[in-house]
Amino acid sequence: MAEPIFPESEFRARLARLQGEMAKAGLDALLLTTAADIFYVTGFLTRFWESPARPWFLLAPGSGDPVAVIPSIGEHLMSQTWISDIRTWDAPNPCDDGVSLLSATIDELLGKAAVIGAPMGLETHLRMPLCDYLQVTKTIAPRRFADGTVVVQRTREVKSEAEIAKIRTICDIAHQTFEDISEIARAGHSMDAVFRDFQASLLGHGADWVSYVAGAASPGGYDDVISPATAAPLALGDVLMLDTGAVKDGYFCDFDRNFFVGPPSDAVRRTQAALWDATDDALSALRPGMRAFDAHRILSKGLEKRDVIPCGGRMGHGLGVTLTEWPSFTPLDNTELREGMVLTLEPSAFVEGKRFLVHEENIVLRADGPELLTQRAPREARII
Amino acid sequence: MAEPIFPESEFRARLARLQGEMAKAGLDALLLTTAADIFYVTGFLTRFWESPARPWFLLAPGSGDPVAVIPSIGEHLMSQTWISDIRTWDAPNPCDDGVSLLSATIDELLGKAAVIGAPMGLETHLRMPLCDYLQVTKTIAPRRFADGTVVVQRTREVKSEAEIAKIRTICDIAHQTFEDISEIARAGHSMDAVFRDFQASLLGHGADWVSYVAGAASPGGYDDVISPATAAPLALGDVLMLDTGAVKDGYFCDFDRNFFVGPPSDAVRRTQAALWDATDDALSALRPGMRAFDAHRILSKGLEKRDVIPCGGRMGHGLGVTLTEWPSFTPLDNTELREGMVLTLEPSAFVEGKRFLVHEENIVLRADGPELLTQRAPREARII
């Protein structure tokens, strides 16, 4: 029997918050279909979501306990969570892959006028076949689906102390791994070996698994931050960036570190310092009640006033049961920043031309400002 | 610059097959949104899909080259693939996250009567916000979307020799890791340490990353095959199962191995032998032209004739750019088995009651029957 990651009270508190948001949004229930949303409400944690074969459903009513409508292969694991109403079918079934069981469950639990929220807005997707969704829509009429993104977003965005502790733990694991950089990377090592050793080191320090690694190494900054490793060897003059979303108990860290392979150019050093200082600005200035675009503005202005050019794209985001969560620090995101949000600060800036650098820290927003969850990077990036 | 995983000719051959299937299905284009489908056509490989923040689109017309409509953060990496028409927007944008750019691209490339296939059937999902999909549907009218699952399924199911070589490579890496089991697992080790060491060993043997690990250890078989690790120590009498979907160059293996912690009971030994023998039946009997349900029947009958009771659920599936692919070896799946399909044989059977064992091998189906991609497990599982 697996030890539960959180006590039942943690999940009941989440459900109560979801139900409060449902009431405000005029929704009678929520239909959840993704690994993150279902884990968040139930504690059901498995890497089996890697298989696209089967849909999984959790129906959370506006009052009362959630009902899991899932493939029978998951029954044993779900029965170890706090969820007691578990309905299963033998999936995958090419004739009816849970459609009639989900429809019957909705029919049983919700009145004819019910409006069921499902996350269908920004940064969401419905993890079930679209044809099946359309079929369920017909079967459950006159009940109807509506966008439930705001309900899930506003609930998941604000973390409990138990969640914050989990994120701090995985941040510590990644910090210890970055401290071992001299065992992972030195001039002459190929980048794919660096990536492999980095992941193995994260595991060795206690990560359950490593869902995300990216990195780059080239002179004067890098061209992108999402590439997989190449066989190219690290060379003197490279800036090496490693970024990880490692996982412990279902919670992610998401931060990078830059390392210099030999002494950096003045331009690289100056850009790195500006990124660090702009992050410091945000660590001082960010407060609950500001908007996501304020965080973007603070970081952008922080770079500009140190005479480096900010890159486009977002400069931070939420973090928790997925690698990135709402909100996004862009000029357009007006999400209110609230106490208890776990966020990344991720300014990026060009180095004299097209290459760039990114610097990232993870924080929790407290009433009096950010509290670091990562151990702050040194202002001068380490030379390896 | 990353080395391409395949030459352009490989991708052009895939596109030609997709376009042949589109013609048969009466589709004028395909809209692809998932990591696997976009990697399959373009070679665009990144772990950045772990972030749910941004949708990515590939529009593959019935003739001519595909067009990528993607977040600008992916432009550099996509520009290293064979795709030349790349259109980007600065995502995430809460006002318009690619909707108008995708709509304009469709408007430019496809006539008013066009029918655009998108995978929306069994074992698929649309990886974009549902609200955005519905908006695009309105914007591009009278063009319309239709289910394109069969086009993608029939194309991806049959692997090229280059793909088969990739899958064999990652199967070899996992095989070497299982050979090191005595370094990974022994009585007294906790299961979470076993899981971590197993993943680190896969990386050490050359896996790029480890997308899937599951396992279990208990006496007389296990209760499920999708659980994460617990802190429980391995104990004498346990059956240890480890299952992995490790990845090399974007291609998965998917197989497990059973190990006995000390000598097994007669019932466990007999069940394990029956699983091995039933797998041998399938290795002898499977032929192109059979149906997926025939594979299920061969494996089930193979177990029954050795006096063990098969478990419910599927007994194998496709394998390639995702951990599991069409078809599924269930009694209901009538997909034709074709030469070049890469498949898992995965019988499972009860051990005297509710616990069970699973045995899994990976094959490619040739004209004259299965060719193993895994190195065949020994008939007697190893005692550790």
| Full DSSP string of B262-306 | SSPPHHHHHHHHHHHHHHHHHHHH--TT-BHHHHHHHHHHHHHTT
pLDDT tens string B188-208: 899 999 999 999 999 999 999
- Contact list in B for residue A52 (CB cut-off 8 A) is 34, 36, 123-125, 322-324
* Mean predicted confidence (pLDDT) in B61-73: 98
- Interface contact B130-A128, CB threshold 8 A: no
From chain A, pick out residues whose CB is under 8 angstroms from the CB of B200: 199-200, 203-204
Inform me whether the pLDDT recorded for B1 exceeds 60. no
Q: At what angle do helices A8-25 and A149-157 cross, to 10 degrees?
A: 140
Name which of A324, A341, A373 is nearest A155 in CA terms: A341
| pLDDT over 90 at B353, yes or no | no
Q: Which residue of A has its CA nearest to B315?
A: A92
- Please answer yes or no on whether A330 and B76 come within 8 Å at the CB atom: no
Cβ contacts below 8 Å, chain A against chain B, sum to: 234
How distant is the Cα of B4 from the closest Cα of chain A, in angstroms?
A: 10
Nearest to residue A334, comparing CAs of A296, A360, A371, A287?
A: A296
Contacts of A179 (CB under 8 A, 6+ apart): none
What per-residue confidence (pLDDT) applies to B179? Answer: 97
Testing the interface with A: which of B227, B244, B332 to mutate, by most A Cβ within 10 A? B227
- B287 HSE (CA, 13 A, CB side): 4
- Are A129 and B121 inside 8 Å of each other by CB? yes
Å between B324 CA and nearest CA of chain A:
5
The pLDDT, as a whole number, for residue A354 is 78
Closest CA to A129 of B88, B326, B242: B326
What's the confidence (pLDDT) of residue A187?
A: 79
Asked if the Cβ–Cβ distance from B228 to A46 is below 8 Å, we say: yes
Q: B-chain residues within 8 Å CB-CB of A127? A: 125
Name the minimum distance, in Å, from the CA of A221 to any CA of chain B.
14
Shortest distance, CA B270 to any CA of chain A (angstroms): 24
Taking contacts as CB-CB distances below 8 angstroms, the residues of chain A near B206 are: 196
Report the pLDDT value the prediction gives residue A2, as an integer from 0 to 100.
Answer: 58
Q: Give B285 to chain A, closest Cα distance, Å.
A: 24
Q: Which residues of A touch B170 (CB under 8 A)?
A: none
Which site among B72, B123, B169 would you substitute to test the A interface, given the most A Cβ atoms closer than 10 Å to its Cβ? B123
Lowest mean pLDDT segment, chosen from A219-228, B156-165, B271-280:
A219-228
Q: Do A121 and B128 touch (CB under 8 A)?
A: no
Question: Nearest CA to CA, how far is A48 from chain B (Å)?
Answer: 6
Sign of CA dihedral B39, B43, B46, B47: positive
Q: B-chain residues within 8 Å CB-CB of A76?
A: 223-224, 227
Domains in chain B (CATH in brackets) are 8-156 (3.40.350.10), 161-383 (3.90.230.10)
Q: Does B92 contact A212 at a Cβ distance shorter than 8 Å?
A: no
User: For an interface test with B, which of A34, A44, A47 has the most B Cβ atoms less than 10 Å from its Cβ?
Assistant: A47
Q: A277 φ, ψ to 5°?
A: -70, -40
Strands A255-260 and A382-383 come out as: parallel
Calculate the CA dihedral of residues B67, B68, B69, B74 and round it to 10 degrees.
Answer: -160
- Closest residue in B to A245 (Cα–Cα): B50
Q: Which pLDDT value is given to residue B80?
A: 96
Cβ pair B228:A47 closer than 8 A: yes
B72 contacts A122? CB cut-off 8 A: no
Per-residue pLDDT at B177: 98
DSSP, collapsed to helix, strand or coil, labels residue A308 as coil
Q: Do B213 and A51 touch (CB under 8 A)?
A: no
pLDDT for the residue B2: 58
Point out the residue among B95, B129, B197 whose CB comes nearest to the CB of A120. B129
Using CB atoms, pick whichever of B46, B133, B195 lies closest to residue A228: B46
- Distance, in Å, from the CA atom of A200 to the CA atom of A183, rounded to the nearest integer, reads 11
Chain B residue numbers touching A123 (CB-CB < 8 A): 52-54, 92, 129
CA distance B94 to chain A (A): 6
The answer to whether the Cβ–Cβ distance between A323 and B225 falls below 8 Å is no
The partner residues of B366 in beta bridges, in order of sequence, read B369
How far A264 CA lies from chain B's nearest CA (Å)? 22
Chain B positions touching A224 (Cβ under 8 A) are 73-74, 76-77
Predicted confidence band of residue B234 (pLDDT cuts 50, 70, 90): very high
Record: contact A314-B92, CB cut-off 8 A: yes
Residue of B nearest to A95 (CA): B332
Amino acid at A18: L
SS3 A376: coil
Q: Can you list the positions of beta strands (E) in chain B?
A: 29-32, 57-61, 67-71, 85-89, 115-118, 144-147, 209-219, 238-248, 251-252, 255-260, 316-318, 325-328, 342-345, 348-350, 356-358, 361-366, 369-372, 382-383
Q: ipTM value of the model? A: 0.97
pLDDT in tens, B6-64: 999 999 999 999 999 999 999 999 999 999 999 999 999 999 999 999 999 999 999 99
Of B3, B74, B214, the CB nearest to A230: B3
A72–B229 CB contact, under 8 Å: no
Q: Mark the ranges of chain A whose per-residue pLDDT is less than 50.
A: none
CB contact under 8 A, B131 and A121: yes
Nearest CB partner across the interface for A53, out of B206, B328, B332: B328
Select from B20, B212, B269 the least CA-distant residue to A209.
B212
Q: Give residue A32's Cα distance to chain centre.
A: 17
